[in-house]
Structures are given as C-alpha cells and as structure tokens.
C-alpha cells in the first residue's frame, strides 16, 4: 500500500487543498508475511529441522524491515500533511472473540 499506484493515490488524497484528516485506518501487513509471500520466507523442510530451522531468517528479517519502512513512510506523510491525525492499525495475533457489542 505504500508503493506504486496505491502510494500515489494516498499522497494525492492527503495533499488535496483543504483536505482535513483526523485519523487514518491502516489494515495492511498481514499478507506481506502469510499468503503467497510465505513460501519465499521458508526453507525446504528436512527431518532434522526444527520449526525455526525452516524459516529463512535473512529473508524474514528483510521482509519485516520492509514492513517497518512502509509504516515509517505513512507516519512521515502524516507528519508532513496532517500531523495531528491519529493512525489506527490492527493485527491478526491473538484475536479474542467476544459476543459483547462495541461502540465507536
């Protein structure tokens, strides 16, 4: 989302004259690790390997650095054009289901 056409669209939106942005919701990053990108982060499993041995640590760390860089780019854009805007994100780790209603 922080590259190519998507970045250009975000930039054009944030820099519109008289644009007011109080908050941004970013739902991204999960498929940068899982999904079709996952296979490039893994090594072919052999019997002697632990789960940790199956991870290509160098590629995994590189991917995490790319994701961190994308978040930093978003923060920089926010700081440049809408410094008071809040950035909201989420993750997929340890989701806790609830039947309680929410109010936003």
Q: How many C-beta atoms surround the C-beta of residue 103 within 10 A? A: 3
User: Total structural domains in the chain?
Assistant: 1
- What is the pLDDT at residue 31? 66
The pTM score is 0.74
Q: Which domain holds residue 60?
A: 22-86
Is 8 part of a structural domain of the chain? no
Is 10 part of a structural domain of the chain? no
Is 47 part of a structural domain of the chain? yes
- What is the pLDDT at residue 32? 66
Task: List beta partners, residue 23.
Answer: 86
Is 93 part of a structural domain of the chain? no
- What is the pLDDT at residue 15? 94
Enter the tokens of residue 47: 């019997």
Q: What is the pLDDT of residues 1-59, one digit of tens each?
A: 788 898 899 999 999 999 999 999 887 766 667 777 788 888 999 999 999 999 999 99
Q: For the residues 95-102, what does the mean pLDDT come to?
A: 78
Q: What angle in degrees, to the nearest 10, is found between the helix axes of 57-81 and 4-14?
A: 20
Dihedral sign for Cα 19, 83, 1, 7, please. positive
Q: For the residues 49-75, what does the mean pLDDT come to?
A: 91
Query: What's the CA gap between 14 and 80, in Å, rounded?
Result: 10
């Amino acid at each position: 989302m922080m590259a190519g056409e998507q970045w250009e669209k975000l930039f054009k939106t944030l820099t519109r004259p008289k644009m007011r942005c109080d908050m941004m919701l970013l739902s991204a990053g999960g498929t940068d690790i899982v999904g079709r990108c996952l296979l490039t982060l893994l090594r072919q499993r052999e019997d002697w390997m632990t789960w940790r041995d199956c991870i290509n640590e160098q590629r995994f760390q590189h991917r995490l650095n790319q994701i961190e860089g994308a978040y930093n780019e978003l923060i920089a854009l926010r700081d440049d054009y809408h410094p008071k805007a809040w950035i909201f994100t989420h993750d997929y780790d340890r989701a806790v289901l609830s039947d309680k209603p929410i109010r936003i």
